[in-house]
Chain A
């Protein structure tokens, strides 16, 4: 079945350092969504990317969709302790409006 792979599994950074998580699919994706889950919380929608090569920014977060629409990345500039959590990418499944979630990248930030 369709899979969405994420790397790395964990990232431990010093506050102020940058962070990047990568998402890869074996098939072309019509779109990709990103979610953040704080420790003990539930996933919260961050953004959806649709166009090939698309780049979107939300303050210190930069999201990119690959030219071939098979990969995506989330980059955080100058991490803060509020960025702690697990970041998931999610791609479309085989039925309408179904999402397949990646395994997530857990970000830990040392103050």
Chain B
């Protein structure tokens, strides 16, 4: 069964450093999402792509976060500089949108710890 791939699975970084996460969605899924999940809370959307275009980045802290999906396939989320409050799980999801459903398939996530 096809899965969403993410790397790294865990990342520890010092504050003020740069960090990057990678996501490879399920083949053929045009819609890609990056979420941040704080322990005990639901996933919060950071950015949504349709192919290579950003559809929604209203919750992305643009002063420090950036995301790209240059060829409309895999995607990178970057934080520079990292802050203590960025410690969280970063989840990538992809979706094959049809008339009936747009269920999202999540990757295993990257757990970020900022020290």
Interfacial residues, chain A to chain B (CB-CB below 8 A): 33, 35, 41-45, 48, 88, 90, 93, 95-104, 106
Interface size, chain B (Cβ < 8 Å): 24
**Given contact pairs A97-B97, A98-B48, A103-B42, a sample of 15 additional A-B residue pairs in the complex whose CB atoms are under 8 Å apart:** A33-B104, A42-B106, A42-B107, A42-B109, A43-B43, A45-B105, A48-B103, A95-B56, A96-B55, A97-B48, A98-B55, A101-B42, A101-B43, A104-B42, A106-B40
B31 in the interface, Cβ–Cβ < 8 Å? yes
In the complex with contacts A93-B45, A101-B43, A33-B103 CB distance below 8 A? yes
What are 28 A-B interface contacts by the 8 Å CB criterion? A33-B103, A33-B104, A41-B108, A42-B91, A42-B107, A42-B108, A43-B43, A43-B91, A43-B104, A43-B106, A45-B105, A48-B103, A90-B42, A95-B48, A96-B50, A96-B55, A97-B31, A97-B48, A97-B95, A98-B45, A98-B55, A98-B56, A99-B45, A99-B104, A103-B40, A103-B41, A103-B42, A106-B40
Count A-B pairs with CB separation below 8 Å: 54
Other-chain contact of B42, A44, A48, A98, A102 (Cβ < 8 Å): A102
A77 and B56 alpha carbons, distance in the complex (Å): 38
Least CB distance from B2 to A in Å reads: 14
Interface of A is mostly: strand
Q: Return chain B residues, CB-CB under 8 Å to A93.
A: 45, 56
The reply to whether B97 and A44 contact each other, CB–CB distance below 8 Å, is: no
Least CB distance from A99 to B in Å reads: 7
The reply to whether B42 and A88 contact each other, CB–CB distance below 8 Å, is: yes
A104 and B45 alpha carbons, distance in the complex (Å): 15
The reply to whether B103 and A45 contact each other, CB–CB distance below 8 Å, is: yes
| A-B residue pairs, 5 tightest by C-beta | A101-B42, A42-B106, A45-B103, A95-B56, A97-B102
Interface residues of B in 56-101 (CB under 8 A from A): 56, 91, 93, 95, 97, 101
Q: Return chain A residues, CB-CB under 8 Å to B56.
A: 93, 95, 98
The reply to whether B104 and A45 contact each other, CB–CB distance below 8 Å, is: yes
